[in-house]
Amino acid sequence: MTDDNEKILKADRFVSHPGDAATGNLRKRFYEEATSRAADDGFIIELDGRPIKTPARAALTVPTAALGNVIAEEWNAQERHIVPETMLVTKLANTALDRVVPRKDEVVDEIAAFGGSDLVCYRADEPESLVTFQSEKWDPLLDWLDGRYQVRLELASGVIFKEQPPEALARLGDIVAVRAVFELAGLHQVVSLCGSLVLGLALLDSHITADQAHDLAHLDEAWQAERWGWDDEAQARLEGRRKMLNATAKYLELL
Helices within 150-206 (DSSP H only): 166-177, 181-194, 197-204
- Helix (H) / strand (E) containing 156: strand 156-157
Separation between Cα atoms, residue 70 and residue 15, nearest integer Å: 18
Separation between Cα atoms, residue 68 and residue 66, nearest integer Å: 5
* pLDDT of amino acid 8: 28
pLDDT tens digits, 185-218? 999 999 999 999 999 999 999 999 999 999 999 9
Separation between Cα atoms, residue 62 and residue 72, nearest integer Å: 11
* pLDDT of amino acid 72: 98
| Contact in structure between 62 and 93 (CB atoms under 8 Å) | yes
Task: Give me the residue spans of the domains in the chain.
Answer: 3-81, 102-254
What is the DSSP-derived secondary structure letter of residue 96? I
Q: Which fold has domain 3-81?
A: ATP12-like (3.30.2180)
For residue 166, what are the contacts with CB-CB under 8 A and spacing of at least 6?
none
For residue 239, what are the contacts with CB-CB under 8 A and spacing of at least 6?
none
Say what the pTM is. Answer: 0.88
| Contact in structure between 55 and 17 (CB atoms under 8 Å) | yes
Separation between Cα atoms, residue 179 and residue 96, nearest integer Å: 12
* pLDDT of amino acid 105: 97
Give residue 70's identity as a one-letter amino acid code. Answer: V
Give residue 53's identity as a one-letter amino acid code. Answer: K
* pLDDT of amino acid 237: 87
* pLDDT of amino acid 235: 80
The parts of the chain modelled with pLDDT lower than 70 are 1-24, 229-230
* pLDDT of amino acid 16: 55
- Region 102-254: CATH code: 1.10.3580.10
